[in-house]
């Protein structure tokens, strides 16, 4: 049964990433360097959860939803990628989520306006640090319409998201190209 969910996941992921690359190349002139890491991050993340039997409940909920819920979850993980990169890994003085190139990327590619992006970041920043992951995972549950997977998200899926961020930052150019 897990094998079928992996195939279904690839059937959702590959066309979505191809569409995002097309939009990016046609509509986004200047690309922030970290934007180029999004597709490899998503591939690593989804491959990680597909290979981890402990993530089966989330994988099942994800592929049983529709394309729009999958895109919404992916958009949320892209936000989470930039948020964690900015707030915890890079710790820049400049807010990465307010960078004009990053804002344009979210607007054109993920259909999230700079105002929405700023509001989501501000809401997340206003939470206590220990509440951020729980709130993010509750949002994922809501997107896939399955509240029962919260424990799976907290214990098994979320570590894959953070590991994928760290891994993608450590890859060389050739490895990134293969994952793009």
Q: What is the pLDDT of residues 147-160, one digit of tens each?
A: 999 999 999 999 99
pLDDT above 60 for 145: yes
The pLDDT, as a whole number, for residue 177 is: 86
- The residue range of the domain holding 33 is 2-179
Q: CA 7 to CA 16: how far, in whole Å?
A: 14
The pLDDT, as a whole number, for residue 25 is: 87
Judge whether 28 and 36 are in contact, CB under 8 Å: no
If one counts the domains in the chain, the total is 1
- Model confidence pLDDT, tens digit, residues 13-49: 999 999 999 998 888 888 899 999 999 999 999 999 9
Judge whether 58 and 149 are in contact, CB under 8 Å: yes
Cβ-proximal residues to 56 (8 Å cutoff; 6+ apart), any chain = 2, 5, 152
Band of the pLDDT at 116, cuts 50, 70, 90? very high
Share of the chain above pLDDT 90, in %: 78
Alpha helices in 89-128 (DSSP H): 100-109, 114-126
């Amino acid at each position: 049964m897990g094998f079928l969910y992996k195939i279904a996941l690839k059937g959702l992921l590959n066309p979505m990433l191809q569409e995002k690359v097309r939009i990016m190349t046609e509509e986004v002139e200047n690309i922030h360097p970290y934007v180029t890491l999004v597709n490899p991050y998503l591939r690593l993340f989804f491959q990680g959860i597909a290979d981890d039997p402990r993530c089966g409940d989330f994988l099942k909920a994800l592929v049983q939803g529709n394309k729009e819920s999958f895109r919404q979850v992916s958009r949320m993980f892209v936000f989470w990628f930039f948020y964690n990169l900015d707030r915890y890994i890079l710790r820049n003085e400049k807010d990465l989520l307010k960078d004009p190139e990053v804002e344009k990327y979210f607007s054109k590619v993920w259909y999230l306006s700079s105002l929405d992006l700023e509001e989501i970041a501000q809401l997340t920043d206003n939470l206590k640090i220990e509440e951020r992951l729980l709130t993010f995972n509750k949002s994922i549950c809501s997107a896939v319409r399955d509240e029962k997977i919260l424990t799976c998200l907290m214990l098994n899926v979320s570590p894959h998201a953070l590991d994928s961020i760290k891994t993608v930052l450590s890859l060389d150019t050739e490895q990134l190209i293969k994952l793009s």
